């Protein structure tokens, strides 16, 4: 007993020696317990504890202590030797004191000199590359769109969100709403990371028949909780205030993999009228699994689809399943399985493919052979595409506009991640095959603040449109009809005064539409990138990546998808992106660009023959 007592005395003495307290300053007192833990004592808490961030640092563990088993530590890259930006950490309101513990951050880190209290957090834009008219978070990281749903005149856009830094981590469901798909109001995160894990992707529906028992027209969200401890499990939450706040189902999870599968995520739920049941599709490694339910809580396995389908190798993610008329004929309906894959993009990294076929209430059967791959978009920055529910006859999809090869290191600080323009989906036939078109929604016409028409011209060599009449910061939409004639190639370049350019052309010899961004501006962002491994803590690992090979490239699409000898191009240019829609979305192509000043000139050119450019309009865009 004496030996134990002496040992305890020595331990306490050692702990006291390692504990260093800093004087209270502006309501904060820091208690460093060695180099592994700091206790932040706060008197009269304000709304936020402002945390200084350095992205190259390892993640610390920041936890608000309330005494509840639900207290959850967030992963935050607190600044060690330089501060790059700040993020807010919410504190309890009305309390006289608050305690926050911060682990894995050295006692001599610079963050301790900069941490402070505040009642406000300034979200005024500080990023040069923040888009003019695309949706982005006010601050922090954003990737996949989640839970897209329309209700009472509002489009709800939830998204994978890290409020504590502009790199992947701490997955919450961020939340924005819009009445027109172009003007977005930012709201507080709707579903927060908890002790079951990160809140991964999922879907939302309107429970018109009160199937789940939370009230008629309750909004029900389905998502994946992901952690090393619990794996990937499907959960649900409900909202009775039009999606502003959610209550998590007390008996979560509602579904776990019957075979212990590691990759089991991203539930898509929809109402299947013939069976009078709710159906769920879950990404299960390289398959999509179908389940059904009458109460949204108890799910029965039905079938699976996908093994060996499409481009290989791949990892299936973020499914969607929609029924569309072929060529507008409602008597000829087809089901379409949208599958987001990583890797698998023909240009490297992540992309979106789809499969057209029949569904009998149990199994989906694809119309084409396993080897056939159909792409929803032919750019490199189009991923995690999912559709709004409850939109009637319209099928509206929203992609994430980035690529997992470099998403964590794009030249942005305050926020990172944007959505591409919403697209309306439809089916059309070409040469006996059914394809899906993705065209910019008609609501984008509301972005137009003015239009400058350009006279038709025959292109024999080159033709300049300068200065290009754009909106604020180069934001514009270019509409035109190009008839290549006998030219081997014809197209145009978006240029700025520094010679940076995006080259867009019809390569008639190869039968391709090409967008070349090799000289578009910034194309190399560093020496290392964090690969996509969101299902575990492996996202902290790094691998060598040559960004010149990953980013500075051209993407292409087959012109065989289009009609006739004249091509209608609709091109949307924003601060850091170019999106092309050809012939009503038969070809869609989405790419990020980072010019160091806005493009202000159009240079048309042709090779090997004359071409015609007609109906050219330059729309100035803005919110």
Q: Report the alpha-carbon distance of residue 504 to residue 501 in Å, rounded.
A: 10
Nearest to 268 by CA among 337, 197, 341, 191: 337
Q: Report the alpha-carbon distance of residue 399 to residue 215 in Å, rounded.
A: 31
Q: Report the alpha-carbon distance of residue 93 to residue 250 in Å, rounded.
A: 26
81: number of Cβ within 10 Å = 11
Q: Report the alpha-carbon distance of residue 380 to residue 555 in Å, rounded.
A: 7
Is 144 catalytic? The answer is yes
Element (H, E) at 11: helix 2-18
Q: Report the alpha-carbon distance of residue 529 to residue 540 in Å, rounded.
A: 10
- How far is the CA of 284 from the CAs of 235, 257, 434, in angstroms? 16, 8, 26
Encode burial over 340-355: b for 16+ CB neighbours within 10 A, e otherwise.
Answer: bbbbbbebbbbbbbbb
Q: Report the alpha-carbon distance of residue 266 to residue 260 in Å, rounded.
A: 16
Map 358-389 to HEC letters.
EECCCCEEECCCCCCCEECCCCCCCEEEEECE
The answer to whether the CB of 190 falls within 8 A of the CB of 243 is yes
192 Cα distance to chain centroid: 17
State the catalytic residue, choosing from 144, 266, 550, 570: 144
State whether residue 403 is helix, strand or coil. Answer: coil
The answer to whether the CB of 418 falls within 8 A of the CB of 131 is yes
Map 154-171 to HEC letters.
EEEEEEEEECCCCCCCCC
195: number of Cβ within 10 Å = 14
CA angle 137, 142, 147 (to 5 degrees): 95
320: number of Cβ within 10 Å = 25
The catalytic residue positions are 144
């Amino acid at each position: 007993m004496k030996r134990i007592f002496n040992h305890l005395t020595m331990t306490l003495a050692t702990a006291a020696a390692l504990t260093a307290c800093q004087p209270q300053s502006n309501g904060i007192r820091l208690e460093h317990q060695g180099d592994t833990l700091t206790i932040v004592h706060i008197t009269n808490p304000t709304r936020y504890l402002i945390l200084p961030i350095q992205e190259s640092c390892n993640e610390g563990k920041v936890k608000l202590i309330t005494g509840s088993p639900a207290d959850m530590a967030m992963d935050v890259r607190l600044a060690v030797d330089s501060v790059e930006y700040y993020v807010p950490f919410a504190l309890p309101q009305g309390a006289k004191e608050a305690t926050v513990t911060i682990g894995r951050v050295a006692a001599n880190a610079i963050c301790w000199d900069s941490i402070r209290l505040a009642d406000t957090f300034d979200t005024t834009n500080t990023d040069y590359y923040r888009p003019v008219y695309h949706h982005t978070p006010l601050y922090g990281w954003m990737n996949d769109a989640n839970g897209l749903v329309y209700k009472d005149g509002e489009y709800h856009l939830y998204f994978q969100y890290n409020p504590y830094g502009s790199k992947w981590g701490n997955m919450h469901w961020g939340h924005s709403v819009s009445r027109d798909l172009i003007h977005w109001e930012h709201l507080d995160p709707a579903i927060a990371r908890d002790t079951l894990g990160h809140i991964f992707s999922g879907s939302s529906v309107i429970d018109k028949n009160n199937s789940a028992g939370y009230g008629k027209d309750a909004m029900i969200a389905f998502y994946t909780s992901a952690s090393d401890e619990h794996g990937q499990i499907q959960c649900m939450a409900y909202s009775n205030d039009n999606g502003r706040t959610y209550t998590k189902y007390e008996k979560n999870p509602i579904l776990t993999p019957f075979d212990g599968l590691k990759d089991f995520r991203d539930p898509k739920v929809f109402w299947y009228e013939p069976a009078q049941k709710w159906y769920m599709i879950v990404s299960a490694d390289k398959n999509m699994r179908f389940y059904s339910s009458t109460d949204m809580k108890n799910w029965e396995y039905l079938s699976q689809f996908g093994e060996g389908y499409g481009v290989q190798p791949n990892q299936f993610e973020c499914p969607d399943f929609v029924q569309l008329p072929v060529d507008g004929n409602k008597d000829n309906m087809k089901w379409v399985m949208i599958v987001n894959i990583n890797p698998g993009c023909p240009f490297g990294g992540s992309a979106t493919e789809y499969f057209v076929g029949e569904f009998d209430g149990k199994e989906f059967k694809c119309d084409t052979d396993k080897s056939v791959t159909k792409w929803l978009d032919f750019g490199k920055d189009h991923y995690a595409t999912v559709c709004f529910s409850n939109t009637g006859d319209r099928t509206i999809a929203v992609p994430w506009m980035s690529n997992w090869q470099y998403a964590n290191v794009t030249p942005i600080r305050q926020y990172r991640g944007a959505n591409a323009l919403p697209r309306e989906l439809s089916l059309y036939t070409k040469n006996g095959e059914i394809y899906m078109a993705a065209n910019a929604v008609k609501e984008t016409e509301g972005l137009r603040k003015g239009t400058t028409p350009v006279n038709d011209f025959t292109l024999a060599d080159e033709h300049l449109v300068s200065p290009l009449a754009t909106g604020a910061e180069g934001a514009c939409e270019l509409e035109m009809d190009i008839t290549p004639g006998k030219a081997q190639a014809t197209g145009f370049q978006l240029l700025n005064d520094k010679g940076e350019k995006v080259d867009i052309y019809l390569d008639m010899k190869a039968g391709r539409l090409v967008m070349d961004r090799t000289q578009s501006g910034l194309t190399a962002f560093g020496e290392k990138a964090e690969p996509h491994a969101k299902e575990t803590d492996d996202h902290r690992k790094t691998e060598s990546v040559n960004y010149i090979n990953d980013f500075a490239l051209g993407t292409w699409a087959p012109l065989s998808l289009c009609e006739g000898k004249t091509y209608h191009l609709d091109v949307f240019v924003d601060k850091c992106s170019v999106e092309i829609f050809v012939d009503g979305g038969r070809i869609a192509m989405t790419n990020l660009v980072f010019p160091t000043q806005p493009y202000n000139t159009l240079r048309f050119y042709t090779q090997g023959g004359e071409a015609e450019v007609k109906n050219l309009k330059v729309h100035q865009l803005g919110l």
